[in-house]
Amino acid sequence: MTARTERLPAGRPPDNPSVGLPDRRSGTHRRVHPNSVSQWSALTGRTLRTMARYGELIVAVIAPFVFGLGFYLPLKFVMQMQGIDYAQFLMPIIVLQSMAFTAISAAQMAAQEATTGLTTRLKTMPVAPTVPLLSRMSAGMTRSVISLFAAIGFGYLIGFRFTAGLGQAVLFGVTALAISLVLCLGADAIGSLSKSPEATSQALTLPQLILGMLSCGFVPEQGFPEWIRPFVRNQPISQFSFAMRDMADGGVTWEVFYPSLLWLVGLTIVCLPLAVWANTRRR
């Protein structure tokens, strides 16, 4: 990682010998001042290279296509018989599931760094406590952006369109990325605390699948038994789907948008402090 240096007069010892480095050519010492921005840049680059090496960025592109086709092809004609344009209906849940996959990847990365000892090593170095977390979030958001564009590309192939204008389309993307960031924060905290990539992945995959299937993202509320409809209608995945569906087609109203906003704020209040604590605590 790069650092700023400060020249000290010859013969004068550094204030902190542990960070004073001798310069034999000039007879002076260089005092190292770690730069948080440079640390963040170096760690983010390292994480992105690791993701590229293991093919995670390719998976970020392929996953929305595979996941989308798995639901679009078998349900398209059934939904058409009910008068539903399934490409428009399905698109929000495809994006949300792609964001959830990014969160699982973030959890695995945090657990891997904790398992290999990198997290402990960074805490013994002059690295700002929140820099490792910020670097992983930056890498995760890079993957989220790739997944978002891949999902939208898949949507356009099957007939999805943004019909509510550019502003609503931008709001659609910002909402998806905000949800991804909050999910990544929570997943990163779980990964940092568990220290097991395999167990972390299994623990996060099941809730994602359950909430996804028991939501209004794949089928309308009327497709569920009456006794479970209140849960299906009011859980966060359904509320996010309602808002994003309207953003893409017709424009979202405040009445539809504010429940999803409340869920997003509530999840942020829980996940952000938990992620910071999990990454800055001393063992």
Tell me: do 89 and 198 sit in the same domain. yes
115 lies in the same domain as 9? no
102-137 pLDDT per residue, tens? 999 888 888 888 888 777 788 777 777 888 899 999
Residues 21 and 61 in one domain: no
Residues 60, 189 within the same domain: yes
What domain count does the chain have?
A: 2
pLDDT value of position 30 = 55
Average pLDDT over residues 32-49: 83
Q: What percentage of residues in the chain have a pLDDT greater than 90?
A: 55
The closest alpha carbon to 118, from 138, 100, 135, belongs to 135
Digit-coded pLDDT (tens) for 171-204: 999 999 999 999 999 999 998 888 677 778 777 8
> Does 63 share its domain with 23?
no
- Close Cβ partners of 276 (under 8 Å, ≥ 6 residues apart): 130, 133
Range of the domain at 1: 1-34
Residues 80 and 92 in one domain: yes
Using CA atoms, how far apart are residues 242 and 81, in angstroms rounded to an integer?
Answer: 21
Contacts of 21 (CB under 8 A, 6+ apart): 29, 30, 31, 32
Kindly calculate the radius of gyration of the chain based on its CA atoms and give it in whole angstroms. Answer: 23
